[in-house]
Amino acid sequence: MAEARQAELLALQSRWPARGSRPPRLVSVALGEGTPFSVYQRQQRRWAERLGVRFEAIVLPEHTGGEVLKERLRSLDADPAVHGVLLQHPLPPPLDFFDLVSGLSPEKDVDGVGSVNLGRLVAGRPLQVPAVARAVFTLLRHYRYSIPGRPVVVLGRSETVGLPTALLFLLRGEGGDATVTVAHSRTRDLARTTRQAELVVSCVGHPGLLDRRSVGPGAAVVDVGLSTRPDPNSPGGMAVVGDADAEALRGYASALTPVPGGIGPVTSVELMANVLRSWALAEGLGAVP
Ligand code: NAP
């Protein structure tokens, strides 16, 4: 599935004129060497190479202060050769992730989480949207899953995952127009809420949250959640799992995205699509779908 989206983006690039002196470039900023962020940066580099995006990883000292970090982000933002800036998070307090990314130009905020991008999404005029939220729609489009009018439950309301996903479902037009319920940790009788949906999109990070009690028969499930649990048969003794109990839902749900291998790789491609969108705007090449 990720391959199909990758092919679509590569085909789009092949129709654009030669890249000139400023190819698409993504810079990923992390605090601290040897943290899980190093793993993310390695993955980002791999996907960037596949999608024709130059990638640079910057690792700043773990205890970098807010002003120094802000200044570094400001200079990356001002550099016309940089088309996307990622700030790996969570950040140690008192650093404020939202405040820092909101200082980026909306095009270069390729995580789509700054105040302008969130505001544009709320106003129904999205520019950069979190890649994971876009990935949900890329996947549904790929399988020609019709959304308008559907009762959809999004589980999770974080500003970076659940909330933008719910807002995309609400957008007017073919890709949206769903009837959306957002559930979270304070939702009363969660199972009753989720059972009413024809489509459940789970963005929580609790293994086993979705089973036959919480999913209606024949409903479809997009599993965005990612957690690890001990598993002697997996490399490193840990297995990556989603929110759904895949065994329980087999032959019961009409569709279920796997974890790993479902939304994750599509999210990586969508992140690069955000960089290409920023680059195409800077080069006056038009929109990236
Ligand atoms: P988060 O900030 O911890 O948010 C989790 C959300 O789930 C919150 O809204 C929380 O409610 C809600 N929640 C917690 N327990 C719940 C329960 N028992 N029932 C219903 N809702 C509950 O996490 P996040 O950053 O949004 O990420 C969500 C999941 O997506 C994580 O597993 C993360 O690893 C995964 N993820 C996957 C990808 C990918 O590429 N596949 C990308 C990004 C994130 P409250 O708001 O009330 O606290």
77-112 pLDDT, tens digit each: 999 999 999 999 999 999 999 999 999 999 999 999
DSSP at 42: H
Instruction: Assign domain 8-120+265-281 one CATH number from 3.40.50.1460, 3.40.50.10860, 3.30.470.10, 3.90.1150.10.
Output: 3.40.50.10860
Percent residues over pLDDT 90 in the chain? 87
Mean pLDDT of the chain: 95
Please report the pLDDT score of residue 20 as a whole number: 63
Mean pLDDT along residues 129-135: 98
Tell me, in angstroms, the distance from the centre of ligand 1 to residue 32's CA: 24
Sheet holding 220-223, edge to edge: 179-183, 151-155, 199-202, 220-223, 255-256
Ligand 1 atom nearest the C-alpha of 187 is 20
Please report the pLDDT score of residue 85 as a whole number: 98
- 150 CB less than 6 Å from ligand 1? no
pLDDT in tens, 214-235: 999 999 999 999 999 999 998 8
Mean pLDDT along residues 129-146: 97
Mutational test site, ligand 1, from 160, 184, 221, 238, max ligand atoms within 8 Å of CB: 184
Tell me, in angstroms, the distance from the centre of ligand 1 to residue 224's CA: 9
- 172 CB less than 6 Å from ligand 1? no
- Cα 266–Cα 74–Cα 105 angle in degrees, nearest 5: 50
Range(s) of the chain covered by CATH 3.40.50.720: 131-263
Q: How confident is the model at residue 45 (pLDDT cuts 50, 70, 90)?
A: very high
Please report the pLDDT score of residue 19 as a whole number: 63
Ligand 1 atom nearest the C-alpha of 186 is 47
Please report the pLDDT score of residue 17 as a whole number: 78
Domain spanning 131-263: which CATH class is it, in words?
A: alpha beta
With residue 277 as reference, give the H or E element that holds it.
Answer: helix 263-282
